[in-house]
Amino acid sequence: MSWKYLLSPPEMSPIERELLIAAFDSNWIAPAGPDLDAFERELEAFTGAAAAAGLSSGTAALHLALQVAGVRAGDDVLMPSLTFAASAFAASYLGARPCFVDVDHTWQLDAALLEEEMLRRAATGTLPAAVIAVDLYGSIANLVAISEICRRYDVTLIEDAAEALGATLGGTSAGRFGQIGVLSFNGNKIVTTGGGGAILSDDERLVERCRHLATQARVPAPHYEHHEIGYNYRLGNLNAAVGRGQLRTLAERVASRRRVRATYESLLTPLAGIGFQPTPPDCAPNHWLTTITIDSATFGATPAEAIRALQAASVEARPGFKPMHLQPVFASSPMLSNGRSDRLFETCVSLPSGGTLGEADLATICDVISAARH
């Protein structure tokens, strides 16, 4: 289908083009080079992390983050059920078991449920090898409380900030609250390199270990020498050049997406039955995706009917994430539920959120939603 309004299209400026052409003309085409080095330093400066490594995807970053955190086959990894599948897939790559915990009223990992589960596991000697907290839709989880819980039980915290670069909590950048932070630069993210990701940490040894594994675990030698299994997970130099331009213009894109969210709120809040993802205290989300809830009985149409009406008008929209505990591939995984993830899956709709949407575009989208009512 040809969409008039896309969910989250890439937003490029002349800066990205100039940097990409300069990298191309320099003939640094391989997955190494000065732009990759510079991009990593600029990520460190932007987030405040001591070290960063550019990787081929956010999924690759999650995989390596868990591996360098010491997760092994047979271990348990706790994470929210309401997330993209990569969080759970990465644990599965290592032979670990994803164990799901429900979310709080901000749609993020529920710290109270996590505390309950950690207490139970501590009493039975079954503490997890790691916890993954996911910053959903560009907001940030309750990571002050979550990091304190993990510290108390001496469990590694990995922050999956794939959707949240540019967001802050208490003035601290997304990706900075765990021992390891993970970013994604997929084509639909607020910073894109066409495809890519990164790992962040204040422990430079962890990042260097990730970088080593990401380059086929090759050891210094005049020939190809390997003492362990590695991966081809490094970000390419040309991709990094685009990322450098994206970082330079990120503040403008965040401001635009916040404007989009505010406009949706002003136009849709008057409609009975429409709700929005709550913003946590002291959090400044990047509003990567504006996602609403639709109460069918009050609104007069189901989320599925609203999505069909939007799609018929060439507006890309999709349901919220299907919780991992409802996915057939994870049917046997444990789930600590309060029912919220299930309800959100039944009621959420993600709307076009790109910063190039104008007021008239947003009004058109909201008119389609309103007209979907019976």
Q: In the numeric block, which tokens belong to residue 74?
A: 């047979």
Q: Is the dihedral of CA 308, 311, 315, 319 positive or negative?
A: positive
Q: In the numeric block, which tokens belong to residue 38?
A: 């510079």
What is the Cα–Cα distance from 104 to 340, expressed in whole angstroms? 7
Please check whether residue 10 is in contact with residue 235, taking contact to mean a CB–CB distance below 8 angstroms: no
Please check whether residue 70 is in contact with residue 208, taking contact to mean a CB–CB distance below 8 angstroms: no
Q: In this predicted model, what pLDDT tens digit does every residue of 283-336 receive, in sequence order?
A: 999 999 999 999 999 999 999 999 999 999 999 999 999 999 999 999 999 999
Which residue from 44, 40, 74, 72 is spatially nearest to 54, judged by alpha carbons? 40
pLDDT tops 80 at residue 30: no
pLDDT tops 80 at residue 1: no
Q: In the numeric block, which tokens belong to residue 354?
A: 């790109």
Radius of gyration over alpha carbons of the chain, in Å?
Answer: 21
Q: Quick one: residue 216, left, alpha or beta (phi over 0 = left, psi -120 to 50 = alpha)?
A: left
pLDDT value for 116: 97
Report residue 32's pLDDT band, with 50, 70 and 90 as the boundaries. confident
Please check whether residue 5 is in contact with residue 314, taking contact to mean a CB–CB distance below 8 angstroms: yes
pLDDT tops 90 at residue 170: yes
Percent of the chain with pLDDT over 70: 100
- Strands in 172-173's sheet, in edge-to-edge order, are 172-173, 168-169, 283-284
Q: In this predicted model, what pLDDT tens digit does every residue of 139-160 receive, in sequence order?
A: 999 999 999 999 999 999 999 9
Burial 87-112, CB ≥16 within 10 A → b, else e: bbbbbbebebbbbbbbbbebbbbbbe
What three-state secondary structure class fits 218? strand
Please check whether residue 32 is in contact with residue 170, taking contact to mean a CB–CB distance below 8 angstroms: no
pLDDT value for 191: 97
Q: Rounded to two decimals, what is the model's pTM?
A: 0.96
Paired sense of beta strands 283-284 and 274-276, if any: unpaired
pLDDT value for 31: 77
**Position of tokens 């505990």?**
325
- Strands in 156-160's sheet, in edge-to-edge order, are 51-55, 197-201, 180-184, 156-160, 130-134, 76-80, 97-101, 335-336
Q: What angle do CA 79, 82, 88 make, to 5 degrees?
A: 45
